[in-house]
């Protein structure tokens, strides 16, 4: 087996095969290529080996072996991350969670479920749908992204507007620490002693340890949902309406914006029809679900969507379409769900950026995004969680032309700088990974970053557990970064 550990390489592969079984060790060019990046494909780095443990104990043994032999490691779920969080370290392993796919316990009375980290987000919900429950966070990647990945990135999705991101839905975790211990925090009862540390772990992008199992909160599936797709003659009218909807005291469960760029791509790709003169659409959804408004009735939901429709019309909406039934609701959501995929019609490559701003600043922010794209001579289309102020400008380009690549990177950075200027964050959902290391200093002072570095040492005092991610200027990262930046193996 060819490996990257040098003369002792063969020993390492055998050492790990004794832990995970021979079939749990992948190496060679095909494996290296498959695992050399996640969905952030700008940077690549071939792993030394890929391991597929079958249990928490095997993960723990792997980490112990890594400690013994000074081998860095990076956990990987489905590899759908968009910031390079699963990019292997220099000479490092990938610890894949592909075999940790069991649902361990479903406790309906306590509305909690315990699952291994490799279970997909959607599978968690499917397991309890017949009981009228689901796992509320619904990132767009939910059919493939894993619980572990969702925890690592504090995943969002369209319904976080009402139901929150992943963090409020994690009751407990089992984590293999960088010191090769199996740490259990929290449990099915919310607020157990030690559960305050879970807040540090969710969103830590795999840099504080490897979460192998979690207790998650199950939420009642709303019994009444109203969805509307509203067409506007200008992006500004749509963005101004977003703020007004929320300011009006209504809490929709989703509020998404799709602009003309995406609509054009959808028409080309799927023949999706929409009213003449539409420059932007709002997809709004209201429901009678759990947290928030107690005891909302179906009538109140209908009234909410009616109030929203009327508000949109007052703001110049061309057309309002309210779904009559479940089938029509699915049809309305197609525009949102197929949007990014349809971008393939516009150019060979798309980079989906991620930033967040206070929603009242959306109108000026979108103006800025279009201006930046024009200035840099790249195409842009916008499809995003307007209700949260979480932007996803999609710059499209041809990555065979290095000048275009450079302009896209610059345009993306300009957008993020603007987000911070407007009081937002450098990342709403996708995380820092490697992609935004250099941008952390825009949002945080040196003292803030010192505090971050301290926080890391609560769990991670070494340099082996997913090194050189999230925090800039960590020592020994120079070699990693030289290897990553555009150097393909």
Partner 1 sequence: MILGGGPCDILGSGTKGGLRHAGAGEIPMTDYAGILNFSPADQLLTVRAGTRLADLLPEIEAQGQTLPLARFGEGFEYLGGLPGTVGGTISAGLPHFLEARFGHWTDWLLGARILTGDGLDAKSGSQAVKSVAGFDIYKMLVGSRGTLGLILEVHLRTYPLEAFRPPTPKAVAHTGPFGVQRVAAEDFDALRDGYGDRLLAAEEESKTVWFTGEPLAAPSGWVQHDGVRRGGSSSLVEKYRARARETFNSGAVLNRAECERTR
Interacting positions 227-256 with partner 1 (CB under 8 A): 243, 246-247, 249-251
Which residue among 55, 101, 425, 474 contacts partner 1 (CB under 8 A)?
425
Check residue 196 for interaction with partner 1 (CB under 8 A): yes
Closest to 483 (Cα-Cα) out of 1, 5, 36: 36
Kindly report the number of other CB atoms within 10 A of residue 205's CB atom. 23
Q: Tell me whether residue 110 or residue 234 sits nearer to partner 1 (CB atom).
A: 110
Q: Tell me whether residue 23 or residue 447 sits nearer to partner 1 (CB atom).
A: 447
Shortest distance, position 142 Cβ to partner 1, whole Å: 16
Check residue 205 for interaction with partner 1 (CB under 8 A): yes
Q: Tell me whether residue 215 or residue 397 sits nearer to partner 1 (CB atom).
A: 215
Check residue 440 for interaction with partner 1 (CB under 8 A): yes
Looking up tokens 């799927």, which residue turns up?
270
Q: Tell me whether residue 76 or residue 217 sits nearer to partner 1 (CB atom).
A: 217
What is the total count of residues that contact partner 1 (CB under 8 A)? Answer: 84
Check residue 51 for interaction with partner 1 (CB under 8 A): no
Shortest distance, position 104 Cβ to partner 1, whole Å: 16
Which two three-digit tokens encode residue 487? Answer: 């150097």
Question: By CB under 8 A, what part of segment 75-134 binds partner 1?
Answer: 109-110
Closest to 173 (Cα-Cα) out of 214, 205, 212: 214
For residues 214 and 114, is the Cβ–Cβ distance under 8 A?
yes
Strand order from edge to edge, sheet including 25-26: 25-26, 49-51, 93-96, 73-76
Return the range that interacts with partner 1 (CB under 8 A); candidates 127-135, 319-327, 404-412, 423-431.
Answer: 423-431
Check residue 298 for interaction with partner 1 (CB under 8 A): no
For residues 48 and 1, is the Cβ–Cβ distance under 8 A?
no
Check residue 423 for interaction with partner 1 (CB under 8 A): yes
Check residue 183 for interaction with partner 1 (CB under 8 A): yes
Return the range that interacts with partner 1 (CB under 8 A); candidates 12-20, 149-157, 277-285, 320-328.
Answer: 149-157
Return the range that interacts with partner 1 (CB under 8 A); candidates 57-65, 70-78, 153-161, 369-377.
Answer: 153-161
In whole angstroms, give the CA distance from residue 8 to residue 1: 12
Check residue 458 for interaction with partner 1 (CB under 8 A): yes
In whole angstroms, give the CA distance from residue 218 to residue 202: 17
Check residue 203 for interaction with partner 1 (CB under 8 A): yes
In whole angstroms, give the CA distance from residue 60 to residue 177: 8
Q: Tell me whether residue 197 or residue 347 sits nearer to partner 1 (CB atom).
A: 197
Check residue 426 for interaction with partner 1 (CB under 8 A): yes
* 3-state DSSP assignment of residue 120: strand
Return the range that interacts with partner 1 (CB under 8 A); candidates 2-10, 29-37, 152-160, 338-346.
Answer: 152-160
Return the range that interacts with partner 1 (CB under 8 A); candidates 21-29, 39-47, 350-358, 371-379.
Answer: 350-358
Check residue 58 for interaction with partner 1 (CB under 8 A): no
Check residue 292 for interaction with partner 1 (CB under 8 A): yes
Measured CA distances, 67 to 244, 310, 377 (Å): 54, 62, 48
Shortest distance, position 146 Cβ to partner 1, whole Å: 16
Check residue 187 for interaction with partner 1 (CB under 8 A): yes
Which two three-digit tokens encode residue 24? Answer: 């749990």
Which residue among 99, 134, 159, 188 contacts partner 1 (CB under 8 A)?
188
* 3-state DSSP assignment of residue 46: coil
Shortest distance, position 237 Cβ to partner 1, whole Å: 17
Which residue among 121, 145, 160, 288 contacts partner 1 (CB under 8 A)?
160
Which residue among 150, 278, 315, 427 contacts partner 1 (CB under 8 A)?
427
DSSP characters over 368-418: HHHHHHHHTT-EEEEEEBGGGTEE-EEEEE-TTSHHHHHHHHHHHHHHHHH
In whole angstroms, give the CA distance from residue 181 to residue 101: 21
Measured CA distances, 63 to 1, 59, 85, 466 (Å): 21, 6, 18, 11
Strand order from edge to edge, sheet including 319-322: 319-322, 225-232, 280-287, 254-259, 379-384, 393-397, 349-352
């Amino acid at each position: 087996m060819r490996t990257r550990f040098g003369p002792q390489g063969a020993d390492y592969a055998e050492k790990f095969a004794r832990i995970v079984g021979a079939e749990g060790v992948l190496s060679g060019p095909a494996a290296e290529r498959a695992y050399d990046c996640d969905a952030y494909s700008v940077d690549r780095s071939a792993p030394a080996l890929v391991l597929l443990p079958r249990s928490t104990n095997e993960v723990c043994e792997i980490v112990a072996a890594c400690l013994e032999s000074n081998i860095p490691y990076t956990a990987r779920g489905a590899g759908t991350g968009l910031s390079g969080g699963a990019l292997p370290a220099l000479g490092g392993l990938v610890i894949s969670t592909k075999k940790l796919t069991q649902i361990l316990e479903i406790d309906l009375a306590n509305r909690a479920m315990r699952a291994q980290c490799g279970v997909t987000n959607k599978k968690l919900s499917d397991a309890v749908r017949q009981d009228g429950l689901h796992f509320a966070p619904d990132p767009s990647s939910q059919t493939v992204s894993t619980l572990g990945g969702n925890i690592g990135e504090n995943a969002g999705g369209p319904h976080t507007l009402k139901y929150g991101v992943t963090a409020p839905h994690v009751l407990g975790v089992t984590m293999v620490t960088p010191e090769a211990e199996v740490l259990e925090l929290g449990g099915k009862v919310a607020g157990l002693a030690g559960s305050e540390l879970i807040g540090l772990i969710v969103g830590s992008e795999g840099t504080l340890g490897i979460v192998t199992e979690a207790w998650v909160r199950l939420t009642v599936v709303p019994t009444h949902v109203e969805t509307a797709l509203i067409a506007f003659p200008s992006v500004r009218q749509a963005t101004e309406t977003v703020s007004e909807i929320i300011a009006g005291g209504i809490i929709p469960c989703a509020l998404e914006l799709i602009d003309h760029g995406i609509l054009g791509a959808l028409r080309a790709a799927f023949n999706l029809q929409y009213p003449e003169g539409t420059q932007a659409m709002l997809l709004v959804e209201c429901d009678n679900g759990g947290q928030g408004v107690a005891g909302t009735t179906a009538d109140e939901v209908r009234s909410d969507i009616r109030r929203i429709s009327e508000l949109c019309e007052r703001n110049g909406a061309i057309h309002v379409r309210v779904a009559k039934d479940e089938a029509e609701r699915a049809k309305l959501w197609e525009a949102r769900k197929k949007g990014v995929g349809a971008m393939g019609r516009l150019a060979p490559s798309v980079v989906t950026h991620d930033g967040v701003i206070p929603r009242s600043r959306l109108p000026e922010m979108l103006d800025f995004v279009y201006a930046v794209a024009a200035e840099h001579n790249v195409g842009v289309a916008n499809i995003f969680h307007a209700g949260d102020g979480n932007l996803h400008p999609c710059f499209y380009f041809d990555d065979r032309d290095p000048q275009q690549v450079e302009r896209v990177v610059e345009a993306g950075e300009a957008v993020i700088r603007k987000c911070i200027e407007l009081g937002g964050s450098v990342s709403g959902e996708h995380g820092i990974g490697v992609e935004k290391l250099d941008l952390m200093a825009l949002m945080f002072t040196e003292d803030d970053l010192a505090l971050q570095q301290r926080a890391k040492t609560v769990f991670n005092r070494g340099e082996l557990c997913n090194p050189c991610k999230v925090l800039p200027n960590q020592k020994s990262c120079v070699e990693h970064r030289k290897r990553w930046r555009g150097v393909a193996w």
